[in-house]
Amino acid sequence: MGMPSQLSQAMFDLLQVSNGNWLPQVTVNLSNLGGTSGNDDMIIPSGLGGGAAVIVGGGQGNDRIDASAATLNVVSTINGGAGDDQIFGSTGNNIINGGAGDDFIEGGGGLADVLNGGPGIDTLSYEHSRGAVTVDMSTLTALGGITVSGGDAVGDQVANNFENAVGSAGADSITGNAGNNVLVGLAGDDTLLGGDGNDIIIGGEGKDTVEGGAGNDTYKFMAFSDFHITSEKVPFTPGDKLDFQAIDTNSFRPNDQPFELVDYDPQNGQIAVGEPGGGITELSINLGGQIRYIYVFHESDFIGQDDFIL
């Protein structure tokens, strides 16, 4: 895609976004505004249409439509169509319709966008926002949409049919709804609240405040940099999981090397589970000789093997 991303393929898989088997990238022009019935990779250039607004359609298939380089108001409407689409809007006013399928939609910077995920498991992204954003799926606007504000979310109208949300590099606030949500904070000191449902919470870099809420929630760590240099605090209820599976503890060996749980001073690739006291258990995580800590606040008396995904 044209825009650099912090999101790995593993993250896209988690968000149920398919990259598909891409055709060679096609630069869209005025004679080629629609995709095919296959998986299209379409880039909208800055000078398309001499500044006139255009409509771009992906057609069927798992399409990737990138208008991030387009100049102000060049692109007015992008329709993903059926399939699992990735759509990146321009810096102007975009109307983006994901259509059926599991879509990943980023409106773009600057002005007010109208964003509609459509049927499927859809992801609302503000990864490239120039400021921190607030996304609240639990509080709807007067028009019945998701409440968003701050950064590039200012003025956006977001339909209440997104299940997942990705924040920016700033200190974002993201709140889920009663469904099963995936909430991704990325960099910055984020606040992520899952609400009801079986949620996946990924704080990312920074000292984050996380809470899964009701349901069987998973706190997932994608990289060692996700652990703040002082400590992370995780509220934990029966049925929740601490997921370290994405972290390879020894990149010099073939295949991924998982963490090992121990009850003593951890060596490289080990997590020491401390003695619980007052409803708090300290986890000491060693990777490459560096130690990070997670304090798990829990209702049960013990955090054990079954509470981890390694």
pLDDT at 178 over 80: yes
pLDDT of the residue at 1: 42
Nearest to 292 by CA among 251, 246, 259: 259
What is the C-alpha to C-alpha distance for residues 109 and 153, in angstroms, rounded to an integer?
8
pLDDT at 34 over 80: no
What is the C-alpha to C-alpha distance for residues 263 and 273, in angstroms, rounded to an integer?
5
If one compares 293 and 46, the residue with the highest pLDDT of the two is 293
pLDDT at 18 over 90: no
If one compares 248 and 229, the residue with the highest pLDDT of the two is 248
Mean pLDDT of 240-246: 96
> What is the overall mean pLDDT for the chain?
86
Half-sphere exposure in the Cβ direction for 126 (13 Å, CA): 32
Per DSSP, 25 falls in state: P
- Strand 114-116 to strand 95-97: parallel, antiparallel, or no bridges (unpaired)? parallel
Confidence of residue 291 (pLDDT cuts 50, 70, 90): very high
In sign, the C-alpha dihedral spanning 225, 231, 233, 234 is: positive
pLDDT of the residue at 30: 43
pLDDT of the residue at 63: 85
Half-sphere exposure in the Cβ direction for 99 (13 Å, CA): 18
Nearest to 8 by CA among 220, 286, 263, 238: 220
What is the C-alpha to C-alpha distance for residues 282 and 161, in angstroms, rounded to an integer?
38
pLDDT of the residue at 31: 43
pLDDT of the residue at 26: 47
Confidence of residue 231 (pLDDT cuts 50, 70, 90): confident
- Cβ neighbour number for residue 5 with a 10 Å cutoff: 15
